[in-house]
Amino acid sequence: MRAGDPATTLSYPLERPRRLRRTERLRALVRETAVAPSQLIYPLFVVPGEGVRREIETLPGCFHLSADEVAREAHAVEQLGIAGVILFGLPAGKDERGSQGYAEDGVVPNAVRAIRSTCRDLLVVTDVCLCEYTSHGHCGVLAGSEVLNDPTLALLGRMAVVHASAGAHVVAPSDMMDGRVGAIRRALDDEGHTDVALLSYAAKYASAFYGPFRAAADSAPQVGDRRGYQMDPANRREALREVRLDIEEGADIVMVKPALPYLDVVRAVREAIDVPVAAYNVSGEYAMVKAAAQRGWIDEERIVKETLLSIRRAGADVILTYHAKDFARWS
């Protein structure tokens, strides 16, 4: 063997990694990572009314659903073995302070009740954020062009309590205000919801990958953008700080969002902390796959399986994904 020859290593021919790749049985025996529907959460968009089931243009295969239809969809999701659903609401009306977001008969609490009375043990997670409910589309209360941090916390606390009272198992704040995890935990505990878990969007980046969601949820900011509260895509260390703060404030699960462009962050968070880690395979990631698949440019099933596997391999315990139903059917 010639030293320095890149084609030969000291271990070959004794070591032959291909031995363990020869058959599917062998490959399965030594496979390091798996994805199961029980690790997935499927997003649903709730609208007012009855009997509404309208496909969302920017998210092919996903629908705007009224509470009765959400319950039917959730039942199908449960049958597929998927862990749970996360609910986003499109209210009948919006105002400056997003008051429909914490109304007891709002679209989301109504949907939570409908799901809980239809499904046996499907997990119901609710997104806690004002942006779908405010007329200006920002995630907090506005003063001029400034999103006010502390006045927003009380409203998020109220929203979480309303969701918990309707029967949500988990509330998931996605607003990125400082201190909101602690404020929501206190609000829940004060109302006796000590068992409702908190999944925080801990490292949520100001990302272009949310575009199709904002069209679906009608939640794009009317003026400005979210860079004053969501994280700078250039930062990794800061994610660890955000995660640490959220855990100190009481987060039970911490999330990194988006997933694919931030797998290094998922890995860093996984190694730094010991609570479960979630990753959100967001709307833009999904829409790109769907668009290419519709043109016949990619093999959708293989792309989706590889995508979800890579997010798990990076260290995520839980994945929020619009592919959940397709994946569960294929697996």
**Is the Cβ of residue 200 or residue 283 nearer to ligand PBG in the bound state?**
283
**Is the Cβ of residue 210 or residue 262 nearer to ligand PBG in the bound state?**
210
Of the residues 158, 214, 290, 325, which one makes contact with ligand PBG according to CB under 6 A: 214
Q: What are phi and psi of 21, to 5 degrees?
A: -110, 5
Q: Which residues, numbered 97-156, are part of the site for ligand PBG (CB under 6 A)?
A: 127, 129, 131, 139
Please give the C-alpha separations between residue 121 and each of 77, 81, 156, 253, 329, in angstroms, as whole numbers: 11, 11, 26, 19, 20
Question: Is 174 one of the binding residues for ligand PBG (CB under 6 A)?
Answer: yes
* Helix spans in the chain (H): 24-29, 67-79, 107-118, 149-166, 180-190, 211-217, 237-249, 263-272, 283-294, 300-314, 324-330
Q: Is the Cβ–Cβ distance between 283 and 308 less than 8 Å?
A: no
In angstroms, what is the minimal distance from the CB of 87 to ligand PBG?
11
Please give the C-alpha separations between residue 147 and each of 56, 140, 153, 174, 229, in angstroms, as whole numbers: 29, 6, 12, 15, 8
The helix/strand/coil state of 196 is coil
Q: Is 325 a catalytic residue?
A: no
Choices 13-21, 210-218, 237-245, 295-303 (CB under 6 A): range interacting with ligand PBG: 210-218
Q: Is 290 a catalytic residue?
A: no
Q: For residues 68 and 88, what is the distance between their CA atoms, to the nearest angstrom?
A: 15
Q: For residues 108 and 103, what is the distance between their CA atoms, to the nearest angstrom?
A: 9
Q: Which two tokens stand for residue 63?
A: 């629908």
**Is the Cβ of residue 89 or residue 109 nearer to ligand PBG in the bound state?**
89
In angstroms, what is the minimal distance from the CB of 12 to ligand PBG?
46
Q: How many residues bind ligand PBG (CB under 6 A)?
A: 12
Of the residues 45, 133, 213, 262, which one makes contact with ligand PBG according to CB under 6 A: 213
Q: Is the Cβ–Cβ distance between 213 and 192 less than 8 Å?
A: no
Question: Is 231 one of the binding residues for ligand PBG (CB under 6 A)?
Answer: no
In angstroms, what is the minimal distance from the CB of 43 to ligand PBG?
7
Question: Is 229 one of the binding residues for ligand PBG (CB under 6 A)?
Answer: no
Catalytic positions, written as ranges? 204, 257
Residues that bind ligand PBG (CB under 6 A): 127, 129, 131, 139, 174, 210, 213-214, 219, 226, 282-283
